[in-house]
């Protein structure tokens, strides 16, 4: 029988999907992503009697993980679910879970935050800074692409928000009469910059402009904090990191590539409370 004590679930609700983390105490054992769940499925989850039942329900497509993780647990209470959400309508659906805790901005020890700062940004920055040190700039290449920085005193310096890669491609095809939707799965290498077909012209415009913009933010960060760290997370992190290795290797070599920064922040907060 595997140890079921101190198990808790982290759930980061983003604008595209759900990001899950299964913790034992301070150890993050597994992470996985799912689509949003329908209300009926969340209701069923909340009715589960054992951890096994719960894991069977939330790992429906992750057979390997599910089998690895099958636990023999007594029918007691469900594990705590710690939620960081930037989608209020999704947060509302999860309120029926019996042992839920919604992390709010006032629980993140980051100083000088503004009231509407996204909890994902605050947690990722806190987690990154606590793990790798401050000053820290976090780039989240998610639905939106964000920059969020804090200085050596763990004070928010500020940041920026722009449409993420997927959103840039989607909006071009949705808001024009002739532009196709460019599938990012098809991306292999960098497009030619001066392209001679529509699809590649879209790729070139979005990707080269984004890379140059990110480089500019990072360089501005290093002007402020020459020893400042930079970490990148989010669904498009690997694609962007690989492009950076091709075009701006000096920047890529200083980037911390880490998908679980928000979970690092959650863990800091949950564990500091004992």
Ligand X SMILES: CC(C)(COP(=O)(O)O)[C@@H](O)C(=O)NCCC(=O)O
Ligand Y SMILES: Nc1ncnc2c1ncn2[C@@H]1O[C@H](COP(=O)(O)OP(=O)(O)O)[C@@H](O)[C@H]1O
Q: Which residues bind K ion (CB under 5 A)?
A: 14, 120, 140, 142
> Nearest 5 degrees, angle CA 207-CA 208-CA 211?
85
Say whether residue 16 binds ligand Y (CB under 6 A).
yes
Phi-psi map region of 95: left, alpha, beta (phi>0 left; psi -120 to 50 alpha): alpha
Q: Which does 168 bind (CB under 5 to 8 A by kind): K ion, ligand Y, ligand X, none?
A: none
CA 204/CA 190 separation, integer angstroms: 8
**166 touches which of K ion, ligand X, ligand Y, none (CB within 5 to 8 A by kind)?**
ligand Y
Q: Yes or no: say if 229 and 131 are a contact pair by the CB < 8 Å rule.
A: no
Q: Which one of residues 73, 143, 146, 203 is an interface residue with ligand Y (CB under 6 A)?
A: 143
Residue 102 in the binding site for ligand X (CB under 6 A): no
Contact present, 10 and 266 (Cβ < 8 Å) = yes
Q: How far is the CB of 143 from ligand X (least distance, A)?
A: 3
Q: Is 242 in the site for ligand Y (CB under 6 A)?
A: no
| Residue 120 annotated as catalytic | yes
* 21 contacts ligand Y (rule: CB under 6 A): no
Residue 120 is a binding residue for ligand X (CB under 6 A): yes
* CB-based closest residue to ligand X: 118
Length of the chain (residues): 274
Catalytic residue among 120, 186, 216, 236: 120
Provide the b/e sequence for 121-144 (b: ≥16 CB within 10 Å). Answer: bbbbbbbbbbbeebbbbbbbbbbb
Instruction: Check the annotation: does 24 bind a ligand.
Output: no
**Is 19 annotated as a binding-site member?**
yes
**Does 10 sit near ligand Y (CB under 6 A)?**
no
Cα-flanking dihedrals φ and ψ of residue 61, to 5°? Answer: -105, 10
Q: Is 24 helix (H, G, I), strand (E, B) or coil?
A: strand
Determine, following the binding rule CB under 6 A, whether residue 41 of this chain makes contact with ligand X: no
Question: Please, what is the minimum distance in Å from the beta carbon of residue 184 to ligand Y?
Answer: 5
Q: Write out the DSSP string of 23-69.
A: EETTEEEEEEEEPPPPHHHHHHHHH--SHHHHHHHH-TT-HHHHHHH
CB of residue 236 to ligand Y, shortest distance in Å: 5
Letters for 130-169 (x = contact with ligand X by CB under 6 A, - = none) are ----------x-xxx-x--------------x--------
- Ligand-binding annotation for 62, yes or no, is no
Residue 4 vs 31, nearer CB to ligand Y: 31
Rounded to a whole number of angstroms, the minimum distance from the CB of residue 225 to ligand Y is: 25
**Number of Cα atoms under 13 Å in the Cβ half of residue 67:** 2
E strands along the chain, which residues?
7-13, 18-24, 27-34, 81-85, 100-102, 136-141, 144-150, 156-163, 229-233, 255-257
Q: Measure the CA–CA gap between 32 and 177, rounded to whole angstroms.
A: 37
Output the six-digit token pair for 77: 């209470």
Catalytic positions are 120
Positions in the binding site for ligand Y (CB under 6 A): 14-17, 142-143, 164-166, 184, 234-236
- Known binding-site residues for K(+) equal 140
Positions in the binding site for ligand X (CB under 6 A): 14-15, 86, 116-118, 120-121, 140, 142-144, 146, 161
């Amino acid at each position: 029988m595997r140890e079921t004590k101190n198990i808790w679930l982290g759930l980061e609700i983003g604008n595209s999907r759900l990001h899950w983390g299964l913790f034992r105490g301070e150890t993050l054992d597994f992470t996985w992503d799912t689509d949003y769940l329908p209300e009926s499925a969340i209701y069923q989850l909340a009715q589960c009697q054992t951890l096994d039942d719960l894991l069977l329900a939330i790992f429906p497509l992750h057979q390997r993980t599910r089998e690895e993780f099958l636990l023999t647990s007594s029918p007691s209470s469900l594990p705590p679910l710690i939620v960081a959400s930037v989608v209020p309508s999704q947060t509302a659906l999860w309120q029926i879970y019996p042992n839920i805790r919604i992390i709010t901005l006032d629980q993140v020890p980051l100083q000088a935050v503004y009231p509407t700062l996204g909890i994902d940004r605050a947690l990722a920055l806190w987690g990154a800074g606590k793990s790798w040190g401050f000053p820290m700039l976090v780039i989240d290449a998610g639905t939106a692409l964000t920059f969020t920085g804090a200085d050596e005193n763990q004070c928010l310096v500020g940041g920026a928000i722009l449409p993420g890669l997927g959103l840039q491609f989607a909006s071009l095809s949705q808001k024009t009469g002739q532009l196709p939707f460019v599938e990012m799965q098809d991306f292999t290498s960098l497009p030619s910059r001066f392209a001679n077909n529509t699809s590649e012209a879209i790729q070139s415009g979005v990707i080269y402009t984004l890379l140059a913009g990110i480089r500019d933010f990072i360089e501005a960060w290093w002007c402020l904090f020459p020893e400042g760290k930079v970490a990148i997370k989010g669904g498009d992190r690997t694609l962007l990191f690989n492009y950076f290795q091709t075009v701006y290797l000096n920047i890529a070599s200083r980037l911390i590539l880490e998908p679980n920064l928000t979970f690092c922040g959650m863990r800091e907060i949950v564990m500091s409370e004992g």
